[in-house]
A and B are shown apart, each in its own frame.
Chain A
Amino acid sequence: MFVLQLSGISKRFGPTVALNGVELQLRKGEVHALIGENGAGKSTLMNILAGAIQPDSGKMVLDGCDYAALSPLDARRHGIALIHQELSLCPHLSVAENILMGIEPAHLGWLDREACHRRALEVLENFGHPEMRPETRVMDLPIAARQVVEISRAIAARASIILMDEPTSSLQRADVERLFALIKRLRKDVISVIYISHFLEEIREIADSFTVLRDGRSVSTGPLHSTTNEELVAQMVGRPVEYLFPKRPLPPEDGEVLIEARDISAPPALKNASFELRRGEILGIAGLMGSGRTEMVRAIFGLDPPQSGTLTLRSKSFSAQVGTPALRIHQSIGYLSEDRKGEGLALALSIADNITFTRFRSCSRWGWLNLKQQRNQAAGWIEQLRVKARTPLQQTRDLSGGNQQKVAIARLLHQDVDVLLLDEPTRGIDIGSKVQIYETIAECAAHNKAVLMVSSYLPELFGMCDRLAVMSRGQLSAALPTAEWTPESVMERAIGAEQTIKTQETADSRQQTE
């Protein structure tokens, strides 16, 4: 009945307890969702199953036999395959070589190319993808096809259990559909899947049962159909989610217009976007990924100057084409990138460096940094935002995603700007950090700053914003009071009129839920 049973799995890294007596039961041919906040121990558990690390204690039973994988190779031999968050293929090699990596058919080290080709084709055909050619180089394939290769690799190794660690995090919706079709086919072949994802809707769509991890413990498990999302979230956070979003007073109706954008255009991504932003308000920008939201924010901040358009800052108008990030910062505008690791933070630098980076003059004189002052300033923000860090001098890389994001936001606060442009401020971070960031944003507005918040997560836009505008294929709708929108009308707008209700629903369920 159970293909895999874990009991009492524990693992420490130095003083940190990553896993503490985890229990998990996996049935044959089921899709089992493993959910929990970041840092709950999901990845550690996956790595133990895949042989990358060894547990300190506990018992694993695979197909009725004791199981302890000493290496990835060992795990593979036992029929356990791990599919990583980031696709882990060798882009320079062919499809066949990737599928058969580690188990290449060979005679005395001599590669049997015929057998390679045949075996890869066989796997692809069995898996319903006879159109894929084994000799194609992986770098020449689109993303969705690469995922087929990755899963085929697991099947080729005769995996009976496939571990998927946030497999959809880099996928478009259509590719997610394709992945789910693949997973359903796996289920038919009585292959079990352990599926990690942040998207509850996604889990509902694909998984049969679940286990929630919290602080390294398995806190609840059961079939999905008899559990509500609220119950799952409550289990993940360890408390009921009544007040995720802070209560905010209505913003003053006639607040000063801090920034007005007119007809900002950067074809083809962005067409004639206009909005105004007043003191004390939070304006939400909804829309699908790739609809032009990010391009608009970047154009305003001078990162990618637009082709045309005007900006009015404190009733002074000028062309939006003129401008660099340095000038915008001088004009008291702050920008939070959606890509925290890529351009948001310098991960190798200390927390203090990152926080004070855009306003070094707060802690320097004639180009000389006063390190003590810098450290104290950073320590203040760390305390205020409850960043979990040992010291301000710690490398930012050591922090969890949520705490890194708090550091990125602390930088904007330290910069003490009037206008905050936030692109996906809570993407991919744990709920605790999210709540903290919501409070911080609300506080900014309460202090008469103006906030523009781009998000793919509708509940957060509805929970936080005073007005909402929707970006659809580069066109920004008028900004209406949030009360005049419904999630349905936002999605309708985001997808555009000519699309059917069906796609609307799927796009909707893509929204991140936590």
Chain B
Amino acid sequence: MVAEVKTEREFLTTASLRLWLNRLGPFLGLALVILTFALLTDSPAQYLSGRNLRIVLSQTVIVAIGAIGMTMIIISGGIDLSVGSTIALASVVTALGIRGGWPPGMAVLAGIVMGGVVGLVNGLAITRLRVIPFIATLGMLGIARGVAKWLADQQTVNVPQTWVNELAVTFPAQTWMLVAPGVWVSVVLAILVSIVLRNTVFGRRVFALGSNEAATRACGVPTDRLKVWIYALAGLLFGLSGVMQMSRLRQGDPTVAIGTELDIIAAVVIGGGSLSGGEGSILGSMIGALIMAFLRNGSQQMGWPNYIQEIIIGAIIVIAVAIDRLRSSRA
């Protein structure tokens, strides 16, 4: 009722203020993290060097590409817990392809498609079997991991040297690339998906679905089909994440990336995504992924043990969301 007293103009100014805070928030967080470590470390020059930046960026690739897909899912009001397993599965499939003598491009494609298939199955389970996303993808978390181990015969799959191994390398052989090809791939995909979410009917319907599913359905949008598409497309991205994982390890490992889905979800949430749907942005999620990567990297530089990193990152997630709640309740 207080809201009704406000004039339309007041509504608009508070609204645009909030929008800007939402947009700037993640950037401020990132700047804060970098600044803090630059002050803490003995050698700020080294921490802020291009070399270290390249290390951080290449470490971010897997989470960043995953976060692009996860952002779509979370905006639509869904969740996907099977990402870590999907990454492992896709990495195994890619490695098996290369080891089996396929052209590397084909093996990469197979890895990506594998991810898409997992997403498709998730989408079908959610829409056809009416299982809520949390449960459907929790099941898939086990299934995909199991299939990965089965295909790999419970071993790591070693691969001969091909260009695929260079995708996520920290210092690429072609120095003109500056950073790993995987970083460029992430950047291009992030821009592409941002545009798709902003400028296509599909993208706006993803937002609509997360904002009010019943209304979206009542407007004649085929929501079930839309969901299947979202999970399948995100799955393709998770598959690509798996390819990057394989490239980084230079082998397909069915036990890799356990818990990575939580890092990815954290990146999206830190970046302003709302688990109740309707909110989130690719840019925010990318910043979220970078915040976590800089935290990890900074902690390593400080020589802090692993458990400290885990505690800090856990706290950051809660703080980020708490700040978000505070902002939206004040506005």
Interface check B212, CB cutoff 8 A: yes
List residues of chain A with CB within 8 A of the CB of B201: 104, 106, 109-111
Q: Write out the residue numbers on chain B whose beta carbons fall within 8 Å of the beta carbon of A92.
A: 207, 210-211, 278-279
Q: Which residues of B contact A133 (CB under 8 A)?
A: 12
Q: A92-B279, A109-B201, A290-B1 are in contact. Are A76 and B215 (CB under 8 A)?
A: no
Binary contact readout A73-116 vs B (1 if CB under 8 angstroms, 0 otherwise): 11111000010100011111100010001111010011101000
Q: B4, B8, B202, B219: which has the most chain A beta carbons within 10 Å? A: B219
User: B249: CB under 8 A from chain A?
Assistant: no
| Interface residue ranges of B182-199 to A (CB < 8 Å) | 199
Of listed A82, A84, A140, residue having the most chain B CB within 10 A:
A140
Binary per-residue interface labels of chain A (131-149) against chain B in the complex, 1 for a CB within 8 Å, 0 otherwise: 1010011001111110000
- Encode contact with B along A25-66: 1 for CB under 8 Å, 0 otherwise: 000000000000000000000000010100000000000000
Query: A72 near B: Cβ within 8 Å?
Result: yes
Partner of B202, one of A102, A109, A153: A109
Given A91-B278, A106-B200, also A73-B11 (CB < 8 A): no
User: Cβ of A73 and Cβ of B204 under 8 Å apart?
Assistant: no
CB-nearest residue of chain B to A94:
B204
B218 at the interface (CB under 8 A from A): yes
Given contacts A109-B200, A142-B3, whether A89 and B8 have CB atoms under 8 Å apart is no
Which residues of A163-182 are within 8 A (CB) of B?
172
Most B CB contacts (10 A, CB to CB) among A50, A90, A143, A153 go to A90
Using known A-B contacts A90-B212, A92-B210, determine if residue A76 contacts B219 with beta carbons closer than 8 Å.
yes
Contact with A along B207-234 (1 / 0, CB 8 A): 1101110111111111000000000000
- Beta-carbon contact of B200 and A72 below 8 Å: no
Query: For residue B14, which residues in chain A have a CB less than 8 angstroms away from its CB?
Result: 140
Contact (Cβ within 8 A) B218 A131: no
Nearest CB on A from B14, distance (A) = 8
Say yes or no for B323: interface residue by CB 8 A criterion.
no
Would you call A71 an interface residue if the criterion is a C-beta within 8 Å of the partner chain's C-beta atoms?
yes
A103 to B220, CA, bound (A): 9
- Chain A residues with CB under 8 Å of B12's CB are 133, 136, 140
Least CB separation from B198: chain A residue: A111
Check B15 for interface membership: any CB of A closer than 8 A: yes
Question: Chain B binding site: helix, strand, loop or mixed by DSSP?
Answer: helix
- Complexed CA–CA distance, A103 and B204 (Å): 12
Residues in A with CB closer than 8 Å to B216 are 90, 101-102
Contact B199 A91 (CB under 8 A): no
Closest to A150 in B: B215
In the assembled complex, the CB of A306 is this many whole angstroms from the nearest CB of chain B, namely 20
Residues of A within 8 A of B222 (CB): 73
- Would A90 and B220 be within 8 Å (CB), given that A97-B204, A104-B201, A136-B15 are in contact? no
Chain B residues positioned under 8 Å from A72 (CB to CB) = 217-220
Q: Which A residues are in CB contact (< 8 Å) with B215?
A: 88-90, 101
Distance to closest chain A CB from B223 (angstroms) = 10
Contact partner of A93 (CB less than 8 A), chosen from B1, B3, B208, B221, is: B208
Q: Can you name the residue of chain A whose Cβ is closest to the Cβ of B218? A: A72
A415 to chain B, nearest CB (A): 32
Of all chain A residues, the one with the shortest Cβ separation from B210 is A92
How near does chain A come to B25, taking the closest CB pair, in angstroms? Answer: 17
Which residues of A lie under 8 Å from residue B1 when comparing CB positions? Answer: 290
Shortest distance from the beta carbon of A83 to any chain B beta carbon, whole Å:
9
User: B207 contacts which chain A residues (CB < 8 A)?
Assistant: 90, 92-93, 97
The A-contacting residues of B in range 243-264, CB under 8 angstroms, are none
B208 neighbours in A (Cβ, 8 Å): 90, 93, 97, 101
Q: How far in angstroms is the closest Cβ of chain A from B191?
A: 16
CB atoms of A82 and B218 under 8 A apart: yes
Instruction: From known contacts A84-B218, A102-B221, infer whether A111 and B199 are also in contact, taking CB-CB under 8 Å.
Output: yes
Residues of B within 8 A of A82 (CB): 218
Q: Give the residues in chain B near A111, CB-CB below 8 Å.
A: 199-201, 203-204
Within 8 Å by CB of A50, from B203, B210, B218, B279, lies: B218
A142 in contact with B218 (CB, 8 Å)? no
Residues of the A chain whose Cβ atoms lie less than 8 Å from the Cβ of B211: 90-93
| CB pair B11 A142 closer than 8 Å | yes
Residues of A within 8 A of B199 (CB): 110-111, 113
Contact of A143 among B4, B8, B11 (CB under 8 A): B4
CB < 8 Å: which of A74, A102, A131, A142 contacts B4?
A: A142
A88 touches B214 (CB 8 A): yes
Cβ contact of A140, chosen from B4, B15, B217, B279, cutoff 8 A: B15
A287 to B11, CA, bound (A): 30
B195: min CB distance to chain A, Å:
10
CB-contacts of B58-93 with A (<8 A): none
A180 CA to B144 CA, complexed, in Å: 56
* Contact indicator B11/A101 (Cβ below 8 Å): no
Q: Which of B12, B14, B212 has the most CB of A within 10 A?
A: B212
Contacts of A136 in B (CB 8 A): 11-12, 15
Minimum CB distance partner of B209 in chain A: A90
CB distance from A507 to the nearest CB of B (A): 16
With both beta carbons as reference points, the residue of chain B lying nearest to A106 in the complex is identified as B201
Q: Are A91 and B219 in contact (CB under 8 A)?
A: no
- Give the Cβ gap from A105 to chain B, nearest Cβ, in Å: 9
Q: In whole angstroms, how far apart are the Cα atoms of A73 and B4 in the complex?
A: 34
Contact of A104 among B4, B15, B204 (CB under 8 A): B204
Interface residues of B in 1-24 (CB under 8 A from A): 1, 3-4, 6, 8, 11-12, 14-15
A-B contact pairs, 26 of them (CB 8 A): A73-B221, A77-B220, A84-B214, A84-B218, A88-B212, A90-B208, A90-B211, A90-B216, A92-B210, A93-B204, A93-B211, A97-B204, A101-B215, A101-B219, A103-B220, A109-B200, A111-B200, A136-B12, A140-B12, A140-B14, A141-B11, A142-B3, A142-B4, A142-B11, A143-B4, A290-B1
B: residues with CB less than 8 A from A are 1, 3-4, 6, 8, 11-12, 14-15, 199-205, 207-208, 210-212, 214-222, 278-279
- Known contacts A92-B278, A144-B4; 12 further A-B pairs (Cβ under 8 A): A72-B218, A73-B220, A84-B218, A88-B212, A88-B218, A90-B215, A91-B278, A102-B220, A110-B200, A111-B200, A142-B11, A290-B1
Across chains A and B, which 5 residue pairs bring their CB atoms closest together, nearest first?
A73-B220, A90-B211, A88-B215, A102-B219, A92-B278
